[in-house]
A and B are shown apart, each in its own frame.
Chain A
C-alpha cells in the first residue's frame, strides 16, 4: 500500500497525477479462504480489516454483488452519534465513537469525520423531560451530552424557526457535542484499501447465490463466479439479510423497508451542526460541498425497490422548510432510497447463528452507518474467536426467543415502528 502523505501528493503532482497506483486490487477468487465476508458495505469491509489487524487472519475474501459502498453505506445521511440510553447500546456505540475519532489516522485515508455536534430538538414539555433524562443517562455512561437552551439554540443555529408560531414550537434541544458526520464513501474505500493492504481479496460484481452446509457446518458459498470454500462465513448485507439466511434455512426477525434521503443544490456554509426533530420527522445537515442533506422516516411498507414513493419526500421537505424557512428557497437536486434491515426490537443482531461457522451482522434499522467501525470490530472478534465480544453479547440472534430484546424506543415488536 502506498502511504498517502503531503510528500506522496507532491511527488505525484510532479508527474501530473498519472502514476497513482490503484487503491485496492481486483483479484479473481481463490478456491478457498479462511474467512468469507459477504457484503462490501462499510460493515463487511471493516470486519475484514479488523480480522487482519486485530486477529492476524488475512486469507479472507470480501464478496460484493455490486460495487463497494453501493448499498446503504453510500446512501445514508452520514450522521454519527452514540446518544443511546439502554445498557448494551450505549457501550457498543460509544466504542464505535472511539474508533471514529482515530479512523482517518488508522486507515491513512481521510474519512472527513466532523464532530460538529448533533442536536435533537424538543418540542414540548414532555420531550424536554425525556431528553434531559436521556442526557443524564448518557453522562452516567460516560457519554457527552449537553442541554441546549432556546437562547443558546438561537445563537448556534440562527436559521432555525424558533418562533412561538412554528408548527412544532421549539423548547430547546439535547446535544451530543462530540457526535457529527463523516464522508460515507471514504469509509468504505478507506477500509477496502486497508484490508487490501493485508492481502485480503475484495471481489466485486460477484453475487452469493447459495450456501453449502454439511451436518450443520459451513463449507462455503455458491457465487456467480463459482463455488468458493470457507469454514467461516460472515454475512453483512443489510436489507438482503433475509435472502442470505434463507439460503441456510434460517428465518430472521427482520423486515426490509425503504428509507429515502435527498440533497439540495450546494450553498455557502449556513448550518454547522446536525439538527434532528423526531416530532417533525426530519434530520438535516450541510455537506462539505454545501448541499443540505436531509431525510426522515421510512416509507413504512416492505420494499426492496431502492427508490421511494412521493408522499415521504413531500413530508420530509415540508418538515425541513418548517424548521428552516430559508431553505424553502433551495432547489432539490437528488433523492434516493436504500433498503433497510429493520429488526423487530430496533437493535442490531451481531453474533453466531444456528449453523456452525455462519455469522450474522444485520438489523441496523436507520442507524448502522455510525456503527460501522464498532460493528466490524466486534464482528471480527466474533468470527475469529467463534464467540461474541463482551460488547456484542447482548446483540445475539436468540434474544428474540428468550425475550432479552433491546427496544431503545419502547415501541414493541413491530419492525417498521423502530
Chain B
C-alpha cells in the first residue's frame, strides 16, 4: 500500500501508523458522561466493511497526523486530508 502524505507525497505503508477511527470524538467533559456514553466513546466502533474514515500518522516521516478515507475490503484510498479537512469520495 502506498499512502500519499499531504506533506511528503507517496510513501510506503511501512512509514505510517494507523491511529484509529476518525469519526470518534472524545467527549468534552468526561465527568458528565453516563457509563453508556463513555462506553460508546471508549469501546464501541462502527468497524465498517467498506469505506472507513481514519486517522493516520506519518510516524517514520514528517510525523504529522492526517485523515484518510480507505476501503477496508479493497484497501483502496479515496481521499486524504490534513486533520482539519473534510474527507470526500468513495460511496460513503
Contacts and interface: CB of A to CB of B under 8 A. Distances in A.
Interface of A: 240, 242-243, 251-256, 300-305, 309-311, 344, 400-403, 413-416
B43 interface: yes
A251 B46 contact: yes
A309 B13 contact: yes
Interface string B30-56: 000001100110111111110010100
A296 to B, nearest CB: 14
A254 B49 CA distance: 13
B75 A255 contact: no
A401 B39 contact: yes
Interface residues of B, number: 27
Contacts of A242: 45-49
B72 A252 contact: no
Nearest to A303: B72
B20 interface: yes
A343 to B, nearest CB: 8
A86 B42 CA distance: 22
A300 B18 contact: yes
B72 A304 contact: yes
21 contacts: A240-B49, A242-B45, A243-B49, A251-B40, A251-B45, A253-B39, A253-B43, A255-B45, A300-B17, A301-B18, A302-B47, A303-B75, A304-B72, A305-B72, A305-B75, A309-B75, A311-B14, A400-B42, A401-B35, A413-B42, A414-B20
Contacts of B20: 414, 416
Nearest to B52: A302
B72 A302 contact: yes
Given A251-B45, A300-B17, A301-B18, 12 more contacts: A240-B49, A242-B46, A243-B49, A254-B45, A302-B18, A302-B52, A303-B73, A304-B49, A309-B1, A400-B43, A401-B36, A413-B42
Contacts of B43: 253, 344, 400, 413
Contacts of A243: 49
Contacts of A252: 44-45, 47
Most buried by B among A240, A256, A311, A401: A401
A402 B43 CA distance: 12
Contact of B73 (A255, A304, A414): A304
Contacts of A300: 17-18
B73 to A, nearest CB: 5
Contact of A305 (B39, B48, B74): B74
Contact of B42 (A255, A302, A344): A344
A242 B40 CA distance: 14
B39 A400 contact: yes
Contacts of B47: 242, 252, 254-256, 302
A309 B15 CA distance: 13
Nearest to B44: A251
A260 B40 CA distance: 30
Interface centre among A243, A301, A414 (most CB of B within 10 A): A301
List 9 A-B pairs, minimum CB-CB distance, nearest first.
A253-B43, A301-B18, A311-B14, A242-B47, A401-B39, A251-B44, A400-B43, A344-B43, A304-B49
